[in-house]
Amino acid sequence: SYVLTQPPSVSVAPGQTARITCGGNNIGIKSVLWYQQKSGQAPVLVVYDDSDRPSGIPERFSGSNSGNTATLTISRVEAGDEADYYCQVWDSSSDHVVFGGGTKLTVL
């Protein structure tokens, strides 16, 4: 089955740029989504189709996808960005939704 690998944690100072990776075999040919989940809340979609943002999501959130790695980039990080972030794809080979293990973003 298809596996997505994320670093367990990423730390960044306010105002800096955070990059969260999502590794998968040839993930560049898949469409990647990213979700933000703050403590005690339901997940929120922040990026879809590798790099598009739903309405209401700040431009500070961006995504890219190539080769074996997709990346969520958060520019000018704020304290309110502290959350768990999950990548996700649809694996057509197995007809399964696949989530990455999640990355905890800590704002120092």
Partner 1 sequence: QVQVVESGGGVVQPGRSLRLSCAASGFTFSSYAMYWVRQAPGKGLEWVAVISYDGNNKYYADTVKGRFTISRDNSKNTLYLQMNSLRAEDTAVYYCARDRVAAAPKYYYYGMDVWGQGTTVTVSS
The footprint of partner 1 (CB under 8 A) covers 1, 31, 33, 35, 37, 42-45, 48, 54, 84, 86, 88, 90, 92, 95-102
Distance of closest approach, residue 46 Cβ to partner 1, in angstroms: 11
The nearest distance, CB 26 to partner 1, in angstroms, is 17
CB closer to partner 1, 15 vs 26: 26
* Rounded Cα distance, 3 and 83, in Å: 22
CA 98/CA 38 separation, integer angstroms: 20
Nearest to 19 by CA among 78, 50, 62, 80: 62
